[in-house]
């Protein structure tokens, strides 16, 4: 996996022989919230994207933060081919071996990850029941409905800067974007402050981040606003769309304690952090916290539409008895489940969480070195192979420099590196980095070199003496 992929065989690109109209390739496409990229991608392989103009671009966002083990992984290709031929899609109530096996494997590694006592004592019920869906938004919608059914309540709490999907319940609980222009969101949605170490106004006397006071203050406000029907909190271990905001140590446990105090469930959304991305198989292992409901997506399918909802036997049984309904066309489809099982087995077999930790240390060290050389880098954060580089115009005031961030991202792309800029938050812009875990040491150094060249040649980067 350390060797760069071979150059593409253009003679095999039967689906792209006809180049889209260069006059306006978007003429028949509906805008969905983000500008279309100027490059037309005709092929992907390993860590790389290839354009219609013969550019080779290193993909440091893993597609949409999804291709955990790279594009076109041969074992994934074989799995897709086999199941497209023999076992692709079934009536939703029908069971198939890939669905059964994936559920068994996920629950097994969760039990192993938390060790003895998982699912026993201290109110911990474990994570023993799975449902497979298509997208992260769909899995979060399901989790919210499950929490409402279990508790008999309907108020949901999210974090400022969060992103959970575009369905009504999931979008109502997110605060990074998507709330304006559509009328009322789902009723009963509340927001806690974003746990942003870099920008929070909650500080100890020595200037360090006082997240405990911030969290307690947020809950005090929610208690006043609540109608007395608090059902669940939904949160990410790292708020990617909010700017790669990494929750501080102890935060998730404190959140669970607040939930228990109010009779609420804790939902953790690991769309981007799961399966080794942050150095642990699951980010909840890093925090040592078992949520009531865990949702997975993106990384589980390595780019295919696959998500999961995992909860305890107790919650699953009670929901069934109450008539829980989340019936969709592609629930528990065999083909994507087979891919998810293959992804999970590859991650375990090749010990990719350890690889993420090792390469992540080098990545973050390289980014901090760039921070020491360029004044526009206000903060570097993240964990493992998931990093954020916040771009500012002034390190003292922390004033955002969104235009500089966009120019840097565009310049990196021109130089052969794709790293996305998150500029939807009201106060900041962050370059988000999440390369495939199969990246080689040489590719890591190459990517950092491209970033430095982009900083050197982009106006507003503020080189330091």
| Active-site amino acid positions | 163, 236, 269, 272, 298, 432
CA–CA separation, 340 and 422 (whole Å): 28
Q: CB-based burial of residue 50 (10 Å sphere; 0-12 exposed, 13-18 middle, 19+ buried)?
A: buried
Q: Count CA atoms closer than 13 A to 356's CA, side-chain side.
A: 30
CA–CA separation, 195 and 419 (whole Å): 24
User: Quick check: 140 and 170 in contact, CB under 8 A?
Assistant: yes
Question: Which of 220, 166, 171 lies closest to 193, judged by CA?
Answer: 220
List Cβ neighbours of 435 (8 Å cut-off, separation of 6 or more).
Answer: 47, 58, 59, 60, 61, 62, 385, 443, 444, 447
User: Quick check: 38 and 406 in contact, CB under 8 A?
Assistant: no
Question: Which of 99, 135, 106, 70 lies closest to 271, judged by CA?
Answer: 135
Question: Which of 302, 344, 307, 296 lies closest to 104, judged by CA?
Answer: 344
Q: Give 298's DSSP letter.
A: G
């Amino acid at each position: 996996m350390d060797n760069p992929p071979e150059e593409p065989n253009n003679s095999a690109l039967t689906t792209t022989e006809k180049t889209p109209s260069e006059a306006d390739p978007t003429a028949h496409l509906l805008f969905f919230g983000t500008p279309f990229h100027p490059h037309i991608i005709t092929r992907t392989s390993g860590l790389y994207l290839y354009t219609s103009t013969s550019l080779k671009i290193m993909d440091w966002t893993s597609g949409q933060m999804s291709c955990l083990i790279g594009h076109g992984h041969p074992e994934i290709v074989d799995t897709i081919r086999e199941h497209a031929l023999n076992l692709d899609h079934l009536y939703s109530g029908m069971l198939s071996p890939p669905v059964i096996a994936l559920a068994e494997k996920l629950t097994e590694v969760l039990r192993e990850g938390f060790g003895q006592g998982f699912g026993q004592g201290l109110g911990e019920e474990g994570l023993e029941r799975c449902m497979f869906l298509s997208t992260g938004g769909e899995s979060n919608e399901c989790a919210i409905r499950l929490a409402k059914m279990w508790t008999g309540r309907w108020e949901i709490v999210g974090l400022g800067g969060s992103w959970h999907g575009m369905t009504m319940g999931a979008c109502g609980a997110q605060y990074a974007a998507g709330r304006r222009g559509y009328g009322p969101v789902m009723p009963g949605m509340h927001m806690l402050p974003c746990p942003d170490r870099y920008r929070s106004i909650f500080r100890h006397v020595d200037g360090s981040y006082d997240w405990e006071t911030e969290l307690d203050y947020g809950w005090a406000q929610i208690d006043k606003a609540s109608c007395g029907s608090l059902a669940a909190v939904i949160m990410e271990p790292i708020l990617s769309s909010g700017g790669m905001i990494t929750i501080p140590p102890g935060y998730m446990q404190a959140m669970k304690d607040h939930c228990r105090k109010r009779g609420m469930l804790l939902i953790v959304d690991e769309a981007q952090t799961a399966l080794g991305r942050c150095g642990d198989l699951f980010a909840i292992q890093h925090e040592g916290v078992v949520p009531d409901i865990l949702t997975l997506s993106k990384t589980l399918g390595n780019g295919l539409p696959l998500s999961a909802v995992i909860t305890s036997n107790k919650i699953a049984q009670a929901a069934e008895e109450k008539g829980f309904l989340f019936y969709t066309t592609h629930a528990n489809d065999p083909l994507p489940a087979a891919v998810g099982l293959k992804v999970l087995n590859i991650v375990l077999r090749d010990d990719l969480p350890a690889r993420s930790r090792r390469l992540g240390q080098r990545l973050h060290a390289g980014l901090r070195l760039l921070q020491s050389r360029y004044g526009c880098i206000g903060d570097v954060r993240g964990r493992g192979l998931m990093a954020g580089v916040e771009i500012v115009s002034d390190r003292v005031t922390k004033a955002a420099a969104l235009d500089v961030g966009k120019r840097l991202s565009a310049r990196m792309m021109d130089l052969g590196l794709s790293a996305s800029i998150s500029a939807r938050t009201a106060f900041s812009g962050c370059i988000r980095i999440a390369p495939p875990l199969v990246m080689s040491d040489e590719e890591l150094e190459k990517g950092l070199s491209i970033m430095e060249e982009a900083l050197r040649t982009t106006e507003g980067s503020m080189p330091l003496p």
